[in-house]
Structure 1
Amino acid sequence: MFKNYLTIALRTLWRNKGYAAINSVGLSVAFCISIFLFLTAYLQLTFDSFHEEKDRIYQAYFFSNDPERASRSGGMPMPLAPTLKAEFEEVEAAARVMTLRKSSVAYQDKRMDKEVYMTDPDFLNMFSFPLLKGNKETAFSDLSSILISESLAQTLFGNDEPLGKVVQIGNEGKQKGYIVSGVLADAPYNSSIRYDAFIRIDNHPNFTHDQANWGSNSHKVFIKIAPQAKQATLENKLKLFSQKYFSSNIEVLQKKGAKPDKLGDIFALRLQPLTKVHFDTEISNGPPIAIVYALMGIAFFILLIACINFINLSVARSFTRAREVGVRKTLGALKSQLFVQIWSESTLLCFIGFLVGVLLAYQLLPEFNTMFNAQIKLAHIWEPGFIGLIVGVFFMVTLLAGGYPALLMAKFNPVEVLKGKISLKRPGFLRNSLIVMQFVMSSLLASCTLIALQQLDYLRTRPLGFVKEQVISIPVGNQENGRQVLKRMRAKLATDPTVLAVTGSGINLGRGKDRVTSRAVIAFTHKGQQIQTDWLLVDYDYLKTLQIPLQEGREFDPAYPSDSLDRIIISASMAKAMGGQELVGSYLRNEADSAGTKYQIIGVVPDFHLYNLSNGVIPITMHLSNTESIHYIFVRVASQNLKQSLDKLQHAWKEVAPQSEFIGTFLDENVNEWYREEEMLSQIFSLASGVAILLSCVGLFAMALLVTEQRTKEIGIRKVLGAGVPSLILLLSKDFIKLVLIALCMALPLAWFMMKQWLNEYPYRIEISLWIFVAVALAALLITFLTIGFQSMKAAFMNPVKSLRSE
């Protein structure tokens, strides 16, 4: 039976090669794009899900119901983790996790920058990173122990035994030896913690000072709760804990007029489940989960458009097969047999489309990963969760695309069919609805794409408070002393007329090739009020290099030795938080400084953005230091021949920092990297809308072809009676144009509403312009007319004698 169904299906498809080709091409393209999008979303949704006890692991964060804006922060004080474990029986394990930036790792003559974390022994009992070598119980028993990743072990030691070997961690002159006590498997791509090595957090330079300091928030804290414990119950107990250890924070918020939130908290310590940490944009660097849902929605949109094409063509073609169905029924075929036979043809087409789609995905995977900076692999297709998703989608497509036409044809009345009473002279409600749905989705994607691109362009071009053009940012790395490199660089470039200014900083602007982002926040006391501010280490000529003007006071000057000790420059937002103007000469006291150091304000500058615009304007305090490390060097160059200036700096770098690789970039390039997620989203929208429009046009063209074939006799009669070519083209086109107009009336308001909600997430955003919707509407109508115009003109110019004779 199955063999007969398959044979008949193959013969039918071979006789209708054009129909089969249109459907298989449409489905293969849809499956290819959907596989990419589903894989991308699947990897994001499975972040941290590989940990065996993920449902019991949480990250601690602070909630602050500030009157200006409620906020959350993942930075924790050093004594928090051990105190939680000591005071709550529900807390089974607690681990602090802190990064050492890109730290230098050395063994014999090998030296490289790697991601080194500091943590507690409980870390190995919480997370399921496989320990390939070593003992989990003793791997962190000593302060000089280090756990390294499998790839780092291979790089440093090759095939030699790594256990017991001594590696050096730290910059030149500040290195410390650690004994390899274990080798961890490399972290998978979908892990929030991606490491090269771990050492004990007790090795932090300020550990002795900070281990009892509740005011210095410097790291993340993860806890594992007991099996019977509940998150809500523990968070309720943490209310009293917050009042006990963070009473000063609560008092400051109360003085500012803060009110309790719906849970009754002004300031609270709360818990975020590990599986949700990746998508929490406030306490981690992951993407918003809305982007992942958008990817899945787009994938379903594209598949649905392909299914609509399939259904429309199948329904239209069913009437050319009506006589075949009538004969089969007359000869005794059952409805179920006809349904299975016709559905098997659709299933075979879908299967061919799926196979071709997988092959296309395999061929185009490198280009997709490059375009969207993705890390997907087709090997993930064989994971159980993804297999279930793909099988479900495949059966949904075959049932949706093939099931209805098969059911429709199986219900044909054989008597009426053989009498020739079944025809399709006018489009039915189903076909019209499907075409409208198709163009609703296409127009929706096109509108969202244009708005996303406009918002991205706005973010990239909005003034940041500093001049990013003509400034080259050079990460120093960990192989050299940043202060010495800056000194040598200034001397080297002092006589170069194309170099306008040189300075250094503790953090980068934008995101450079080292991919490192960092942030330091401290609290000052002013007139009894606590003020939080970003603490920015700069060097002389910072304002000059970035062309940040002064509103009051002066810049740091080598002529004033005290500038490097206790002088600061603040931003306008910091001045506003202090509640006044003419602040030059006033003092601030650092809350976390046990020595009670007072810092004097010597200047005020306009607000500028250290981070991307989604953070809004934040208070900034700049300071000098003779001891803190300079991690980045900024060089402003003349506008003539920027490429040559970059090459010149690279050549100079080999002399001033021979141990460090030159990975300098222009600041405007770094700033563009802030908006990688928005760019990825706009690119995906662009790709999806392009594919959706293409598939819609293919389906529309095929429908126009079938409709004109069915109306050949009508067209011939109209021509004989004197109808002109323009009137015939209008006759054949107007029904489709009406459907597109209906689709636009549905899609454009929906696009406006959806993108309005998306834009509300940005402190700086565009106003949606009417011209975007006008452009989409005109483009949709033009594409529709061009798509069906060719077939309409061909039918209108046909010789009526020939068409009537053929009928």
Structure 2
Amino acid sequence: MLKNYFKIAWRNLRRNKLRTSIHILGLSIGIAICFLIFNVVTHSYSFDQFHPDKERVFRINTLTDWGDGGSFPNSGTPGPLGEVIKDEIAGIEEKGKLYTLYDALVALPNTDKVFGRSDDVTFADPGFFKIFPREWLAGNPETALVQPESVVITEESLHKYFPGSDASDVLGQELMFVDSDSIYAKVTGVIANYTENTDFVFTDFISYSTIRTPDQIEWYGLHDWGSVNSSSQLFVKLAQGVSPESLDEAFIPLIAKNMEAGDDGDYSTSFFTEPLAELHFGQNYSNDNVSKVFLKGLISIGLIILVLAALNFVNLETAQAISRSKEVGIRKTIGGTRLQLITQFLAETFLIVLFSTILALALVEGIRMLFASYLPNDFSIDYFSMYNVLFYVGFPVLISMITGIYPALILSNYDPQRALKGDMVRSGKFSLGVFLRKNLTVIQLSSSIAFIILVLVLNYQLKYVTSQPLGFEKEAVMYAPMPFMSDPDKMLQLQERFNQESMVQSASLSGSLVSSTSLWTSDVKIPMDTTEKEMYIQVMNVDSAFVKVNGIPLLAGTDAIDRADEILVNEQFVKEAGFATLEAAVGSELTYSEEQVRIIGVVADFHSRTLREKIRPLLFTYNPAYFQSINVKLSSDQNLAAAKERLEQIYLTIYPYETASFNFLDTQIDRFYQEDVKIKNVLGFACALAILISCLGLFGLSSFTIAQRTKEISIRKVLGATLQQILFLISREYMILVGISFLIAVFPAYYFLNDWLNGFNTRVEMPYLIFVAAGLGVMTICLLIVGVHSYVASQTNPAKVLKSE
């Protein structure tokens, strides 16, 4: 019996090739999008899910609240917290500390082997491997990280540092790590690489006890409860039955005991727990974190596209149900039951969904390659994984039931006597099928209009912010990172070498770029008549050439900052400090970092961060020991590729063991809106799919409904109706549907866009004309599709249509 159902279903599909093609194409798009998003989501949630007792593992984070200055969460914690947390707070089974190093130079001492800079080196205590156990290839996990100057390496490092050696052979070998100072550490253990998805990407674990002298503890900022550094991270494993909420509450008396509310009571600090499962969606070590908001957006888009495809199927099937009324009447007359008819129609739906799924798997690879740069770096699709096999089996059945059950119920419910007479339309009475078809069409068109509005407004805003003047010159400026805590004399030597090149206008050294995502904040005290005014400010560490290199206008004083007790400020600083004029600010003294400093110049306001934020009061200070970037302004009409190559050659003459990599400043600034561009492009792709699916549905629906009205059109032509009158008559219904769809689409689009635009300090006013243009665009597409079918129907000879009447 089941075989016959599918045989008949196959014949019906072959007989109605247009209907079948529309169904398969529409559903395959929806299924392909859902399958890809399903794999992206499962990949993102798979990170660090293999650790034992993972639900009891948490990272401790710090929240600093500056009141009106804002709240700043930080994945780091003060060093002293890790020392006392287990003793002063009950319910902690184990604690583990990390202090991550960035750009640490790795070498084999007494040899010429230098392995370059690495971000995968960290200090770790023995408790870390008790929370996150590893497979040990050599060494004792209980003692490997106890003694100072010990290091545990992974298999990856073993093959990199000691190629051809066995794990047991390298125990006792010495490695050198260069950070602020040189660390000579002996290998005390070798562990296996993780094969599962993880954010713990470290390959070298130096014993935490290596940081033991007062100078080292102070250098790494581990001496003070008020020092919070994202490099200093603390993990805890809670005892059975202990909730993270109770741990958060236990921090309150601990803070009251050990911390003050800032030196002047101007900020407060609190700690909170972050589940291990959330690590991948926050500040992590792989720098491949995924925004949960973005993931939820992808899921929503996938569901919308699938729902549109499903509605397309239901809409077209219910519209064509009348053409199959005689088939239903004959089946019922010869003894067919309603259950058999439902099964027959569901079998047809299942075949369509099955073919759609097969086509969808072919489309997935194309979509994955199209959006490869938007997907996680290590993302791949295992088509034979358990989850995907369940998807292949369960998803077609689920979609078949959802999309096929209503059309099957409608078809199987026909009265055989009326069906055989062809009397299926009751004029003047309410028709559920017609009502449903119109509403489903409205939903499809509303989604298309909303997507178009979102994409156009996002594109309009991004073009606006990227065209705004930033207050500095970003063209022909290149930069490269400097080795951490490099010798100031070597940095000056490199700067001088660049200045000697004819292609270079000027070079400068700084702690950060003129505009970046980094933010260094502090406070200053400005003497008033009888009191002091305290301001919360942004700080940048620069040299005397920084203003010139970046083309920042100097408004008063001088930009020749070359002493620690001299500072430059911006216009916003002068305004908030209360100086009468820019010139009045020059020469004034104030307190910064507990030292007296003097303002020597005022520069124009510029955007040091994205245009989402307002310009902060800014202070330039001079501290050459902490310069981290070299910035080079190239002369005009330079071959930029050749200039880049030449700069990197010079860089390597001063720092032969470093990796020289110069980048353009304008490229860095474009990355500010990378997430917004991704959202716009993803929405644009979804918009195109929504329009395509809606057009497919409209094409199929209009071709069928107009075919049902060919006799009416012929009679009107015989009675003298013109072509324009016929086209207007048929198109009027669709124009009303588009109008209703537009009204429905406007509200969610406005809500989303208003919230998104409010995130920009520099933004456009809500462009209502774009809303109207989107509605008119969809109406034009709709009228073109309906108009073509109406025109073809109106050109048919009435005599041929009415000859049987």
Q: Same fold (TM over 0.5)?
A: yes
**Is contact 2:106–2:115 with CA below 8 Å preserved after alignment?**
yes
Match for residue 295 of structure 2?
Answer: 292
Aligned to 2:724: 726
Counterpart check, 1:143 vs 2:148: yes
190, 208, 232: which one pairs with 2:217? 208
Q: CA deviation at 1:534?
A: 5.0
The alpha-carbon distance between structure 1 residues 610 and 154, as it changes in their structure 2 partners (threshold 3 A), is: farther
- Paired residues for 1:666-677 under 5 Å: 666-677=664-675
Structure 1 segment 734-753 matched on structure 2, within 5 A: 734-753=732-751
Match of 1:547 in 2: 551
In 2 relative to 1, CA 316–374 (structure 1 residues): closer, same or farther, beyond 3 Å? farther
Q: Which range moved further: 86-95 or 24-33?
A: 86-95
- CA separation of 1:719 and 1:669: change in aligned 2, threshold 3 A: same
Mapped partners of 1:684, 1:757: distance in 2: 18
- Deviation for aligned residue 1:335: 0.9
CA deviation profile, 1:492-545 (whole Å, cap 9, x unmatched): 34344442210122334667xxxxx76655566777887665553333311111
Secondary structure, counterpart of 2:800 in structure 1: helix
In the TM superposition, residue 312 of structure 1 has moved relative to its aligned partner by: 1.5
- Do the aligned partners of 2:92 and 2:237 also contact (CA within 8 Å) in 1? yes
Letter in 2 for 1:249: G
Q: Which sits farther off after the overlay, 685-694 or 244-253? A: 244-253
* Aligned counterpart in structure 1 of residue 228 of structure 2, from 203, 217, 226: 217
**CA separation of 1:601 and 1:140: change in aligned 2, threshold 3 A:** farther
Correspondence 1:181 to 2:183: no
The answer as to whether partners of 2:538 and 2:616 remain within 8 angstroms in 1 is: yes
SS at match of 1:215: coil
What residue number does 2:16 align with? 16
1:338-737 equivalences under 5 Å are: 338-370=341-373, 375-379=378-382, 382-384=385-387, 393-423=395-425, 428-476=434-482, 481=486, 483=488, 486-508=491-513, 535-557=539-561, 563=563, 565-571=564-570, 582=585, 584-588=587-591, 590=593, 599-614=597-612, 616-618=614-616, 620-628=618-626, 630-641=627-638, 643=640, 644-653=642-651, 655-737=653-735
Q: Is the 8 A contact 2:558 2:601 kept in 1?
A: yes
CA distance in structure 1 between the aligned counterparts of 2:760 and 2:652, rounded to whole angstroms: 42
Which region of structure 1 is more displaced relative to structure 2, 498-507 or 602-611? Answer: 602-611
Residue 225 of structure 1 and its aligned partner are, at CA, apart by 2.2
Tell whether the 8 Å contact from 1:281 to 1:287 is kept in structure 2 after alignment. no
Distance between the aligned counterparts of 2:513 and 2:85, measured in 1?
Answer: 35
For 1:684-725, what per-residue CA distance to the aligned partner results, in whole angstroms no more than 9, with x for missing partners? 001001111111111111111111211122222222222222
- The answer to whether 1:274 aligns with 2:283 is no
Q: Which moved more, 1:346-355 or 1:597-606?
A: 597-606
Contact (CA 8 Å) 2:613, 2:761: kept in 1 or not?
yes
By how many angstroms is 1:738 displaced?
A: 1.4
CA contact under 8 A between 1:465 and 1:606: conserved in structure 2? yes
Cα pair distance change 1:236/1:782, threshold 3 Å: same
2-side partners of 1:342 and 1:751: how far apart? 37
Change in CA separation of 1:636 and 1:390 when aligned onto 2, cut-off 3 Å: farther
Q: Tell me the distance in 2 between the aligned counterparts of 1:580 and 1:61.
A: 39
After superposition, what is the alpha-carbon deviation per residue over 1:362-383, rounded to whole angstroms, capped at 9, x for unaligned?
3443332135565431117725
Q: Deviations over 1:258-297 (max 9, x none)?
A: xxxxxxxx64333333333444589999454222211111
In the other structure, the counterpart of 1:261 is none
After superposition, the Cα gap between the structure-2 partners of 1:449 and 1:430, relative to the gap in structure 1 and judged at 3 Å, is same
Judged with a 3 Å threshold, the aligned counterparts in structure 2 of structure 1 residues 742 and 304 are, in CA distance, closer, same or farther, namely same
Amino acid in the other structure paired with 1:415: Q
Q: 2:329 aligns with which of 326, 333, 338?
A: 326
**Could you tell me how far apart the structure 1 residues matched to 2:49 and 2:416 are?**
56
Change in 2 beyond 3 A, CA 1:131/1:33: farther
How far apart are the structure 1 equivalents of 2:184 and 2:97?
21
What is residue 260 of structure 1 aligned with on the other side? none
After superposition, the Cα gap between the structure-2 partners of 1:710 and 1:620, relative to the gap in structure 1 and judged at 3 Å, is: same
2:239 equivalent in structure 1: 226
User: 1:674 is paired with a residue of what secondary structure?
Assistant: helix
Contact kept? 2:612, 2:761, Cα under 8 Å = yes
Alignment partner of 1:169 is 2:173: no
TM-score using structure 2 length: 0.87
Distance in 2 separating the partners of 1:461 and 1:641: 24
Q: Tell me, yes or no, if the aligned pair for 1:33 and 1:361 is still in contact at 8 Å.
A: yes
Note the alpha carbon deviations across 1:71-99, whole angstroms, 9 max, x for none: 13214222121122221122333334333
Structure 2's unaligned 5+ residue stretches are none
Letter in 2 for 1:39: N
Do the aligned partners of 1:369 and 1:375 also contact (CA within 8 Å) in 2? no
Among all aligned residue pairs of Structure 1 and Structure 2, give the percentage whose two residues are the same amino acid: 27
More displaced stretch, 280-289 vs 667-676: 280-289
CA RMSD of aligned residues (A): 3.4
Are the counterparts in 2 of residues 150 and 186 from structure 1 also a CA contact under 8 Å? Answer: no
Amino acid at match of 2:647: L
SS in 2 for 1:76: coil
369 and 417 in structure 1: CA distance in 2 versus 1, 3 angstrom threshold: same
Unaligned runs of 5+ in 1: 255-265, 512-516, 592-596
Aligned length: 777
1:73 and 1:282 in contact (8 A); partners too:
no
1:627 Cα deviation after fit: 3.3
1:73-88 mapped onto 2 (5 Å cutoff): 73-74=73-74, 75-88=76-89
Equivalent residue, structure 2, for 1:756: 754
Distance across 1 between alignment mates of 2:277 and 2:790 = 55
Please give the alpha-carbon distance, in whole angstroms, between the structure 2 residues aligned to 1:440 and 1:486.
60
Deviation at 1:171, TM superposition (A): 6.3
Q: In structure 1, what residue type is equivalent to 2:787?
A: G
